[in-house]
């Protein structure tokens, strides 16, 4: 099974390591897509204004050691 195609904006090269489900997204990012929080390309919507939620979407699945200090 392929990995999720969501790419974090942290460096623009780090991808979500979770297995892909539908549309190439993992279940978490697929739920974000269904809720309108990201588009089909994986870009986070400007309507998501809560920074905590934006970070959760952006850094989902990344190892704690790789997260920048502000992403906690």
- CA nearest to 58, candidates 21, 27, 14: 14
The more confident residue out of 61 and 59 is 59
What is the rounded distance in angstroms from the CA atom of residue 47 to the CA atom of residue 64?
27
Classify 3 as helix, strand or coil. Answer: strand
pLDDT digits (tens, 9 = 90+) for 13-54: 788 999 998 999 999 999 999 999 999 998 999 999 999 999
Model pLDDT for residues 62-72, shown as the tens digit of each residue = 865 545 555 54
pLDDT of residue 18: 93
Token readout for 8 is 């974090």
Give residue 46's pLDDT.
Answer: 94
Backbone angles phi, psi at 40, to 5 degrees: -60, -20
CA 64 to chain centre: 15
Q: Give the length of the chain.
A: 72
């Amino acid at each position: 099974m392929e990995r999720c195609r969501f790419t974090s904006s942290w460096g623009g090269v780090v991808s979500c390591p979770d297995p892909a489900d539908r549309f190439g997204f993992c279940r978490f990012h697929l739920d974000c897509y269904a809720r309108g929080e990201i588009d089909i390309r994986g870009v986070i919507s400007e309507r998501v204004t809560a920074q905590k939620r934006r970070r959760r979407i952006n850094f989902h699945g990344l190892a704690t050691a790789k997260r920048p200090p502000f992403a906690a």
